[in-house]
Amino acid sequence: MKETNAADVKWSSRVEFVVALLGYSIGLPEFWRVPYLAYRNGGGPFIIAYILLMLVCGLPLYFLELALSQYSGKGPWRFWDICPLLRGIGIAIAVINAISAINTAIMEAWALEYFVNSFKSVLPWTNCDNEWNTEACYREGITPDNTSLFNSSLANYSITNMTTRAEVNRTIGHPVDSVDEFWLYRILRISDGISDLGTISVVFVVYLFAMRFVAAVSIVKSVESMGKVLFVTALLPVALVVMIWVRALTLPGATKGMLYFMSADFGRFADSQLWIEASFQTFITLGPGWGGLMMMGAHNKFRTNCFQSAVISTTATLTFGLLNGLVVFSVLGVMSDEIGVPISDVMTSGGFSIGFIAYPKATELFPFTQLLCVIILPRDFILPGAILTEPFLMILEEMFPKVLNNRRIPLLAVVSIVMFLVGLPYATQAGVYIFLLVDWYTGTWSVMLMCMAECVVFAWIYGAHRIDRDVRLMLNRPLPTIIRISTAFIMPIFLTFLLIISIFTYKPPSFGEYTYPVYARALGWCFTLSSILPALGYCGWIVAKADGTVTKRIKRLARHTTQWVSANERAEEIYRDSELSAEFTWRQLFLFNLTGRDGIVIKESGDSVPMI
């Protein structure tokens, strides 16, 4: 009887697969994190570090996760037949995706609030006549009502109709664009800090429920339904972003904004924070270590050219991230020119808000503003939740195939309800503080650790010589040199060094001038450990359960199992035959990783299988 496999559903075409990769990588991280981190880390130096790490560290693991999951037809849990000792990584992946899916839902809800307001005859973020606006509010052609406001201080200025210290601070110093006020006071409704939950918004509770429902519908048939949604949500916004950029370039201040984005303070290259955050962003953007690539690769057909797809997706994602940064900062330059303040002072609510302020502002530059908002914003509240939930579901289906076989709808319903209930605190006035805290500590150090473990497994335990054979069987080409050398040497050394430094030097998140209390930062580390500890616990449990001495147990569990075979029957025969010559010594493996020579010899068996 054939083993139940959650990856039996395949992508309908290679085009759909590439579009899915683009949708997976080009998402909310590029929408706000890339411009935010560039803003935070000196512009040009961060861009250079980001490009370098995307190509040298991101692309190799991106390709290898796709290739090996495609080769084996296994998702994020069964993938670890390649090294059962580290199967706990599958649990860590499930935890990270579940937490991130819950956390990301509030960003989708924020985008949905913009979407709903886009249908109003007058967009509320384009004027200062709303109940949430302060006396510092600025709109084009009209100065703030109280010009003496900007020469006053907190000690001698009385402010009415304001509920938080953050609001008081926002009225001292310089005008504030109406877009910024809409974001801060209408969308976020921020409280004094994470300790002050304030009131819960019924509207945002409804939005969170809607987000979970939309995500569930998008993946009810796994990639079969998700692929159709991605065609629209992944491609249309790219064209619109280019259009916004072209329009912004015609306005005063746009060039100043882009120069700010690309400004180079080369002394920042010596700052470890720049490299730490660039590496974190690389893995968040491309997604190695998150399980999504394993999920997508497992749904691929055996002969799909996943290397070409990986190069296309990585290049497009990197290009879009940089283009998005140019667009965001060109709009900030326009805002700076209008208000008459430096670009560094435009972002009064903190760099995190950068995408949610720049794009609504950009829509004002066009006729038919409402229509443009309606077109741009849906991709931000359909895509992320579905993409993060699908790997989590696939892991559960692979862990419990007999129980969950053909029961996706009940499973999806239960998971969606639990995620919705756990996410309710985000609908409070402290929601943005919770979001930033969870985002900063989930999927950073833990993902970096998993990527380091993958490098060791791929290059030194399973062996690059075996991967080279597997790639030849699928793609009729050798393992690319840059991928082999980077995985075996560059990434393990670089990531280890970076991880050690980051633990001692990494700065906690902030929102504007707000800094998190000690207990909140301790809670953040709990989110990091929530994925690391289960992985280590599973490793200890599986070693304790095995027979023999500890050394023999570890050695046996580090070896790929008999279930780790090619998903293609014809290639499986060649794989089994070639395993007889695949036992390399450490010296042989080192030389192969370094030079790519003297790989596994494969006996030719049919025209579709190459001869090494």
Residue 490 has pLDDT above 60, yes or no: yes
pLDDT one-digit tens code per residue, 141-195: 544 444 433 333 333 323 333 334 344 344 435 577 888 888 888 898 888 899 9
Considering only residues 463 and 273, tell me which one the structure prediction assigns the higher pLDDT.
Answer: 463
- Kindly state the helix (H) or strand (E) to which residue 252 belongs, with its residue range: none
138 neighbors 128 (Cβ within 8 angstroms): yes
Q: How many C-beta neighbours within 10 Å does residue 335 have?
A: 24
Percent of the chain with pLDDT strictly greater than 70: 84
**Residue 378 DSSP class:** H
Which of the given ranges, 79-93, 328-342, 564-578, has the highest pLDDT on average?
79-93
Q: For the ranges 35-39, 311-315, 442-446, 477-481, which has the lowest average pLDDT?
A: 35-39
Q: Please state the rounded mean pLDDT for residues 301-317.
A: 93
Residue 390 has pLDDT above 60, yes or no: yes
User: What's domain 14-122+200-543's superfamily in CATH?
Assistant: Amino acid/polyamine transporter I (1.20.1740.10)
Residue 289 Rama label (left phi>0; alpha psi -120 to 50; beta): left
Residue 429 has pLDDT above 90, yes or no: yes
Q: Please state the rounded mean pLDDT for residues 501-508.
A: 79
According to DSSP, the β-strands at 510-511 and 176-177 are unpaired
pLDDT one-digit tens code per residue, 47-103: 999 999 999 999 999 999 999 999 999 999 999 999 999 999 999 999 999 999 999
Dist. CA 85–CA 107, nearest whole Å: 36
Q: How many C-beta neighbours within 10 Å does residue 157 have?
A: 15
Q: Which two tokens stand for residue 61?
A: 């693991």
Domain ranges within the chain, ordered by starting residue: 14-122+200-543
pLDDT one-digit tens code per residue, 349-381: 556 677 777 778 777 777 767 776 766 655 555
Residue 564 has pLDDT above 80, yes or no: yes
468 neighbors 64 (Cβ within 8 angstroms): no
Q: Classify the C-alpha dihedral 448-454-455-457 as positive or negative.
A: positive
Instruction: Indicate the burial class of 239 (C-beta count within 10 angstroms; 0-12, 13-18, 19 or more).
Output: exposed
Dist. CA 65–CA 56, nearest whole Å: 15
- Kindly state the helix (H) or strand (E) to which residue 340 belongs, with its residue range: none
Confidence class for position 385, pLDDT limits 50, 70, 90 = confident
Three-state DSSP class for 145?
A: coil
